[in-house]
Amino acid sequence: MKDQGDFEERQWQKMVDGGLADFSIPLWRDFCDGLHLRLLNNWLGGRRFEASLKTDLFDEAVGVGLANWICSVSVRMEGLDLMPTIAKRAADRHPGIITRQADVRFLKAYPTPCFDLIVSNSTLDHFKDESDLSVSLGELARVLVPGGLLFVTLDNPQNPIVSIRNRRSSVPSKSTGLIPYFMGCTVPRLELIRMVQDAGLTVERSDYLMHLPRVLFLHASRLFAAGSPSGRGMMGLMNSFELLNKLPTRSRTGHYSAVLARKPDA
């Protein structure tokens, strides 16, 4: 486990050393946050929570992320990240959350169940080995209290662009130009459901998310100011691609698979 943790930490350190400013694309960050927030609000139905955990803080370090929303529905929010630099930057930007450096595969800071909501958006698809997915899901299930909810998203390997990108970027020493950080193993939605169930959780909802050509619109978003008339038009165009989720081809166009699961009552 330590060797694996060292591997991932080295990959993220390369990205941090290159600077995080290039990831602060306000329009793109607003779009990504909005997609996740609409799905969370739809699935959680206005519920409130005593203690929530977010499993990485990259979004909060380079943008608004989901922290403000999680704090609004929770009495207490904690967030963790493998990289102390990212955790500190997120803490500076969001003083209302408790942050710590930690590996999601080994949550030794939480020896007993203590969270009734865990949000894990695109955290568990950055590991070298698929077995780490199972280990992580087991740890997240362990720290959930009975009746607690886990929201998890992974890159969808059934999307052809994701599949091609991951094959190229899975070689850490190779710069692809497509993505500046290491992309690890991921699994299709049905396999994610099975793995969540194997962790002892009951799946309540599942779906696909983000149906636009991601790389194209990520870079195009740099050309528009968030909140400007042209930025609002671009945002509307990007959101319109979510209509593809109504089609039979949604498993091919969705960039992410999403699952909401509950820990059974004791």
Tokens found for residue 157: 């390997």
Give the predicted TM-score (pTM) of the model.
0.88
Residues 64-89 pLDDT 10s: 999 999 999 999 999 999 888 899 99
Nearest to 159 by CA among 192, 134, 186: 186
DSSP β-ladder status, 74-81 and 98-101: parallel
pLDDT band at 129 (very low <50, low <70, confident <90, very high): confident
- pLDDT reading at 126 higher than 60: yes
* C-alpha–C-alpha distance, residues 131 and 187, integer Å: 11
Please name each of the domains of the chain with its CATH number: 2-262 (3.40.50.150)
Q: Mean pLDDT throughout 124-140? A: 90
* C-alpha–C-alpha distance, residues 157 and 246, integer Å: 19
Q: To 10 degrees, the CA torsion angle through 108, 111, 117, 118?
A: 20
Residues 6-28 pLDDT 10s: 555 555 555 554 555 556 789 99
